[in-house]
Amino acid sequence: MTHLPTLQDRIARRRPGFALEQAFYTAPEIFAHDLERIFRRHWLLAGPSCRIRQPGQWCTYDLANDSVILVRVESGEIRAFHNVCRHRGSRICLTSDGHGSSFVCPYHAWAYDLDGKLKAARHLPEGVERTEFGMHPVAVRVVEGLIFVCLADEPPDFSAVAADLRMYLQPHGLHHTKVCRRTVENIRANWKVVAENFWECYHCAPAHPEFCSVMSYAQAANSERLARERADFEAAWIEETRRRGYLAGRVERSNGALHQGGRLPIRPGYLTQSRDGKPVAPLLGSYKEYDGGITSFMHLPLIWYVVSNDHALLTRFTPIAPLETELELTWLVHEDAVEGQDYDPENVCWLWRITAEQDKSICDNNQRGILSSRYQPGPYATTERSADEFVTWYLQELGAQNH
């Protein structure tokens, strides 16, 4: 009788330094484990706080069968609740955003206030206490204009991530921004295919000519001369940036850490991440001048964002199905900026719109190849260390349930 490999068998036989075997990128049962062990246990980026600026404004964030309502309450705080009526389970909010003084279930009209308390329910039996049937809360943290949620009953410590984000994002003042553009589309690939792609830049030179024309580090690994030039440029930029009183430098991912990033330069002569390096919007936060750098952070499992002096990009990935991942891109500019006068959305979005389109095509094609009967895991290149670290972390998280 043929032995069918268990999940632990597959984890144990992964060859260090190599990609995952096919089932990890295709099997529905492993995808179900991913949702439980990865996405329902860790903090996830839900979106920018400026999307729900006024009390009563709300929006939703969906993960598989779960839907979360994010709402700004009268005190100005942001709360989060499961989008589930406590009566018979109907979804309460049926659109992606809205505004109101309460939440009313469209099925039987049970009504909840913005704090999630049940305030109206017709024909309740005697002895049923409304206080027992408030909306189920979801853990939420707002850090420098970014909303994070965690679906776990006991969320992991977020303090280390929050401290680094405060340090590097505070000068940008993201809580004083507005949405310039927001796009949502689906990538026809497993979320780990997408994650590996975004955790490495080995593919940047052959796949992203526009990105390489803006970010000088993208090709530095391919040439000793370019590597020396980039190292010299970055060292001089860090020294000059700190002399001018701005942040520079990086936070490296250590054992147990779930994030990495910091502030680094673009390329000589470039003030921002635009086609020609020239400004595309008014300065953000406390910046009084352009310093030619970006703040970039990546979080496990799959969160990434980059902030220039004059605009920000938030990249949110959400697993939809074994072979489908949602990609949401949100560009932010200063809240007082006037479209058509202070900025052109096409200029603000140019670099990352093109780069995201290219990455979508890359991931779609990668997944199609993985589905082949001839697929076998190959070795990571020396410049794919981050992708290898991601896969190692992922397997540790997935296998921890039996430890």
Task: Report the pLDDT averaged over residues 52-78.
Answer: 97
Q: Are residues 273 and 374 in the same domain?
A: yes
In a domain, 259, yes or no: yes
Q: Are residues 329 and 265 in the same domain?
A: yes
Predicted pLDDT of residue 2: 57
Q: Are residues 293 and 382 in the same domain?
A: yes
Predicted pLDDT of residue 400: 66
Q: How confident is the model at residue 5 (pLDDT cuts 50, 70, 90)?
A: confident
Predicted pLDDT of residue 186: 97
Q: Are residues 145 and 186 in the same domain?
A: no
Predicted pLDDT of residue 256: 66
Q: Please return the burial class of 286, using the count of CB atoms within 10 Å of its CB with bins 0-12, 13-18 and 19+.
A: exposed
pLDDT at 384 over 70: yes
In a domain, 7, yes or no: no
Residue 280: CATH number of its domain = 3.90.380.10
Torsion of CA 368, 369, 371, 374, to 10 degrees: 160
In a domain, 169, yes or no: no
309-331 in b/e form (b: 16+ CB < 10 A) is bbbbbbbbbbbbebbbbbbbbbb
Question: Any idea what DSSP says for residue 173?
Answer: -
Distance CA 298, CA 300 (A): 7
Distance CA 14, CA 11 (A): 6
Q: Are residues 374 and 319 in the same domain?
A: yes
pLDDT at 243 over 90: yes
Q: For residue 283, give every residue at least 6 positions away whose Cβ sits within 8 Å of its Cβ, in sequence order, or none.
A: 289, 290, 309, 310, 334
Whether the CB-CB separation of 387 and 380 falls below 8 Å is answered with: yes
Q: Are residues 97 and 180 in the same domain?
A: no
Q: Are residues 142 and 179 in the same domain?
A: no
Q: How confident is the model at residue 106 (pLDDT cuts 50, 70, 90)?
A: very high
Q: Are residues 184 and 317 in the same domain?
A: yes
Q: How confident is the model at residue 255 (pLDDT cuts 50, 70, 90)?
A: low
Cis amide bond preceding 265, omega within 30: no
Determine the structural domain holding residue 289 and report its residue range. 175-397
In a domain, 2, yes or no: no
Computed over every residue of the chain, the mean pLDDT equals 94
pTM given for the model? 0.94
